[in-house]
Amino acid sequence: MEKEQDYSKDIAEIRSMMERSSKFLSLSGWAGIMAGMYALAGAGIAYTVFNFNPDAIDYSAIDPGSATSALPKVMLTGLLVLILALVTAIVLSRKKAEQWGENIWNATSRRLLASMAVPLAAGGLFILIIISKGLLGLIAPLTLLFYGLALYNASKFTIDEVKFLGMVQIGLGLAATWFIEYGLLLWAIGFGVVHIVYGMYMYFRYER
């Protein structure tokens, strides 16, 4: 007769397989902390060095000079922040996956990325279009909003906390639309402070 222990082991194995095959759990807390730092640095540079802090939605009509001239540099800074954050996340998550004896590139991570890619690509294109129309004040709110939607959508393929993270970013995005003049500040809070807090939470909850 099979022993009780074996049944419990069966159950444990079933649960582990269900979780591993449906949720990507190798996201590193440190990746969140680092992403937040890059974002804070980026927002700081945009504000102090390039003097970029749009306080109105539409810049095509009023004063096309000040904010628009800094725009290419600000966009380049944003792109750099994004690339740095992505590379850090990939490197650190790979390290974490290796510790668990898993491959970072599997069916679950592919689905996680695909579920993020659609809202992010739609948002990215949308933002490029409104930039071309001169609506610079909406860049910060919309990046927050679409990023939040992407996180919310992807949360079903990773830990539940990502859903909450997504809702926070959506809320900040909406707040930044209402208070356009605080757009850059709210962007720094969303991509900077919130990422750091989230990363620290992840680190202390799951990795220590």
Partner 1 sequence: MKVSIDDLHKAFGSRVRLGIMSALAVNDKLDFTSLKEYLDVTDGNLASHIKALEKEAFIGVEKSFVDRKPNTKYFMTKVGKKAFDDHLNALEILIKSNR
SS3 2: coil
SS3 75: helix
First to last CA, the chain: 40
Part in contact with partner 1 (CB under 8 A); list of ranges 5-13, 26-34, 90-98, 135-143: 5-13
Considering only 49, 83, 86, 107, the residue that binds partner 1 (CB under 8 A) is 107
Nearest approach in angstroms of CB 90 to partner 1 is 18
Considering only 79, 86, 103, 204, the residue that binds partner 1 (CB under 8 A) is 103
14 binds partner 1 (CB under 8 A): yes
Quick one: which of 20, 193, 163 has its CA closest to 97?
20
Radius of gyration of the chain, Cα coordinates, nearest whole angstrom: 20
114 binds partner 1 (CB under 8 A): no
163 binds partner 1 (CB under 8 A): no
Quick one: which of 59, 27, 21 has its CA closest to 183?
59
Give me the residues that bind partner 1 (CB under 8 A), please: 1-2, 4, 7-8, 10-11, 13-15, 17-18, 20-22, 103, 106-107
